[in-house]
Amino acid sequence: MQVTKRSATTNATVMEVSGRLDAVTSPGLEKEIAAFFSGPARGLALDLGRVDYVSSAGLRVLLLAARKAKEGGVGFAVYGIQSQVLEVIRVSGLESLLGVVPGEAEALAAVEHGAKE
């Protein structure tokens, strides 16, 4: 599992995640998320385009990110999700809670909108 970050807009960061989000690798993402939200308040869009597997451990970290964003009053969205990962998110009923959108443009719009709410 790898994470790279870039500033996409003045208010939002894109975090590109790749690899597996399982019980072994998810704590790594959790640290990144925690570090991100302890810094200056910015919205977060998670690009999961290169994530090919997610388990309950991965979903918990994604939920944690959504919760921290809400608590911090910033926008949050996930996008670019592969079909097998999307299936796991859907079967768990977490699509709206995680702010799932198709692509980066929608994600950044959602993050922007989320911050205003």
Partner 1 sequence: MKALVSSVTVPCRLDSLAPLSAFVREQAQMMGFDERELSQVQLGVEEAVTNVIKHGLESNPDESFTVVLESSPAALTIRIREKGLPFDPARAPVYSPERADKDTSGLGMFLMRAAMDTVEYHNLGREGKETVLVKHLRNRRIDLLTRPGEPAAAEVPRVAELPGYAIRRARPEEAIEISQCAYRTYGYTYADYIYFPDRIVEYNASGHMVSVVAVTDDGAMMGHAALKLEDPGAKTAELGVAFVNPEFRGHGLLKQMTTLLVDHANSIGLTGLFGQAVTSHPASQKVIAGYGFVDCTLAVALSDSGRVFKAICGEAHERQTLLVSFLPLQRQRRVVHPTARHLDMVKRLYERLAVPFDIAGAGAQYSADPGPDESVRATKDQARNSAGIRVSACTDEGFAIARDQWKSYCRERTDAVFLYVNIEDPRCPGFTARCEELGFFFAGILPSGANGRDALVLQYLNNLNVDYDRLKLHSAEAEELARYVRSCDPNVT
Residue with tokens 């019980």: 23
- Residues numbered 50 to 109 that lie near partner 1 (CB under 8 A) are 52-53, 55-57, 59-60, 63, 66-67, 83-84, 87-88, 91-94, 97
Q: How far is the CB of 54 from partner 1 (least distance, A)?
A: 8
Count other C-beta atoms under 10 Å from residue 61's C-beta.
Answer: 23
Nearer to partner 1, 40 or 117 (CB): 117
1 to 30: interface string for partner 1, x by CB under 8 A: ---------------------xxx------
Residue with tokens 């998810």: 26
What does the alpha-carbon distance between residue 72 and residue 22 come to, in Å, rounded to a whole number? 26
Nearer to partner 1, 8 or 21 (CB): 21
Nearer to partner 1, 40 or 93 (CB): 93
Binding site for partner 1 (CB under 8 A): 22-24, 52-53, 55-57, 59-60, 63, 66-67, 83-84, 87-88, 91-94, 97
